[in-house]
Structure 1
Amino acid sequence: MTTFLVAGSGSDPTGPKELTSDQANRLAVTRFLNYQAGGRAVTIEVPGTAGGLTITGSIDYRGKIGYGVVRGTGRDTSSDGLIQWTATTVFVHPMTDPPAKAPARPPGSGWVSRPLQKYGSSLDSSLTIALKLGSDRPDNAELLPQNGAAWVGEDRLDGHQVDIMTGPSAARTTSARPTSGTAGAVPTTDTAGADAVRYWIGSDGTMYRVRVGVASASQPVVIDFDTQKYVPVRPVPGATPAR
């Protein structure tokens, strides 16, 4: 199988290779560690034909809600402002000159809400994927390699030595009948290709980057963690995060 590796100069392009037991265990717990931490600071790079979007903020993986500043990159500023999202709803607060960091307490007014789209929007696919990178239980380490997860390289990311692994194929995960646990796919209706999801994972299972190909964009979504200090997420008026 031809592989396409996006990584730094220290990456090893000799993969894919079967996961070792240690690698499978780290991939199995990586989403659970996000949930266990409560939340993570993130930067989400959203591709688009008219220019990209960058979201800088935090995700509460127990409350299943994200919040941050959104800015256009290589496009006009019509999408700039604050953004908060749940699994079903996107809230936007347009601003002509958004701050570098979202205010810890969201504004009490000026928000516009809409349903989160399942198809055709690289922004909404990015938001969905980012929320699904936390899980209240570890995945099944034995099922991961059986469903297509593999090691594809190594890298050094922000001072952390990481292994790059592909997640299991969503199609194979759906058709599988596991006896216990889950196979660990990050399900989204807009992922593209069997090798759509890649994780940059540290020696203790910490997730530092995720890259996901989406059908609605020619470039992958890239989600980086710990890009700034995590700030607990406060719901905007009308938001109903899951608890």
Structure 2
Amino acid sequence: MIGGVAVAVATFLIADSGSAPAGPKTLTSDQASRLAVTRFLNYQAGGRAVTVDVPGTAGGLTFTGSIDYRRKVGYGALHGTGRDTSSDGLIQWTATTVFVHPMGKAPAKAPARPPESGWYSRPLQRYGSSLDSSLAIALKLGSDRPDNAELLPQNGAAWVGQDRLDGHQVDIMTGPSARATSGPTGAAGAVRYWIGSDGTMYRVRVGVASASEPVVIDFDTQKYVPVRPVPGVTPTR
């Protein structure tokens, strides 16, 4: 379901909100249908507010902001956790390019209108960078069409258990490997989704090859703010 990113298959246990995994079990038709449409619902919504926690041996990074799933661009504030502030600032990215605006005292939330100057660009690294892998994965959690519900179980997707997340009753499901270029292929277990009864995606947890701990992507952690491209960014539709 997520493509173009090097991801290590993680065999970790999920224990959020005091719940323990009960599976894996074969997906029911309803569960497979919800897993198949969850990325499409992000696309239909236009965009989602997200918080991305990226682990690191020298301290983690936390991104807080928004992703426009139709134009395929994300924007927000980046803060180090347990490390210095050298990585703090504003960040915007597309599928190919990362734009950074360093700030010694980065705001908790990015300004709705990005600064006109002070941006530096670089190619998005597909391998070797936990941050870039996390940004690429987060951007691919929206799709302009549903996945094939019938193929998901055949390619290893499974039900793991139930949880309650921010007041929402959710099912935890493993998805096909993030090594897939598109659609459900590859080994299961690399990605776990917390999905509501209507297919809404509330959390994604994924192991990346460059990090010893999984990346956690939480949705609706704050109000969604439409993404305004910084000068020089040309999002794709």
**Post-superposition offset of 1:98:** 1.0
Which of 79, 103, 106 is the matching residue for 1:95?
103
Per the alignment, residue 232 of structure 1 pairs with 226
Q: Percent identity?
A: 85
1:37 aligns with 2:42: no
The 3 A distance-change label for structure 1 pair 40 and 170 is closer
Per the alignment, residue 164 of structure 1 pairs with 172
Number of matched residues? Answer: 228
Per the alignment, residue 7 of structure 2 pairs with none
Per the alignment, residue 5 of structure 2 pairs with none
1:113 aligns with 2:121: yes
Per the alignment, residue 212 of structure 1 pairs with 206
Give TM-score, length-normalised by structure 1.
0.90
**Post-superposition offset of 1:69:** 0.2
CA deviations on 1:36-89 (whole Å, 9 max, x unpaired) are 000000000011111100000000000000000000000000000000000000
Paired amino acid for 1:211 = R
Q: Which has the higher contact order (CA 8 A, sep 6+)?
A: 2
Q: Give, in whole Å, the separation in 1 of the partners of 2:145 and 2:202.
A: 19
Which of 190, 197, 216 is the matching residue for 2:191?
197
Give TM-score, length-normalised by structure 2.
0.92
Which of 136, 139, 155 is the matching residue for 2:147?
139
Instruction: Give the 3-state SS of the residue equivalent to 1:237 in structure 2.
Output: coil
Unaligned runs of 5+ in 1: 175-181, 188-192
Paired amino acid for 2:132 = D
Q: Give, in whole Å, the separation in 2 of the partners of 1:3 and 1:109.
A: 43
Instruction: Give the 3-state SS of the residue equivalent to 1:241 in structure 2.
Output: coil
**Post-superposition offset of 1:195:** 1.2
Which of 18, 40, 55 is the matching residue for 2:26?
18
1:63 aligns with 2:87: no
Paired amino acid for 1:86 = T
Which of 141, 154, 164 is the matching residue for 2:162?
154
**Post-superposition offset of 1:6:** 1.8
Unaligned runs of 5+ in 2: 1-9
